[in-house]
Amino acid sequence: MRSAPHRLVDGKFLAMTCIVSGRFAACGRDLQPSDISALDDYIHRCKLGPYRPGRAVALAQQASSSPTSEQRESAAKARHAHAYGSHALPNLRAHEVLLHTKMSCFA
């Protein structure tokens, strides 16, 4: 049996994980700009909430390239606020447990 060239993932979970962790990787590889754009489009098209990894990437780039420390701090705060840190983490953890439970049924 040949392996499939694509792997299915939960888009909302992937978007939230990327935004909260700041690490844009899935299935053992870094996400390319086209992957992030497709994920943004998917989240918007399916009305899955305000989670936009593309916005998080833009804020992270702005934070790292700002000329003054005040601007970097402001951009970092905006990125942290975008991550919905305190609200998203409990939902993200609950969702992760649910996914692992479902996946263990297939093992």
- Which of these, 36, 10, 21, 16, lies nearest to 88 by C-alpha position? 16
Residues 28 and 22: beta-carbon distance below 8 Å? no
Report the C-alpha gap between 62 and 32 in whole angstroms.
18
Summarize pLDDT for 26-35 with one digit per residue, the tens. 888 899 999 9
| 74 contacts: CB under 8 Å, gap ≥ 6 | 66
CA-angle at 67, arms to 81 and 24, nearest 5°: 45
Summarize pLDDT for 5-21 with one digit per residue, the tens. 777 888 888 898 888 88
Task: Say what the pTM is.
Answer: 0.62
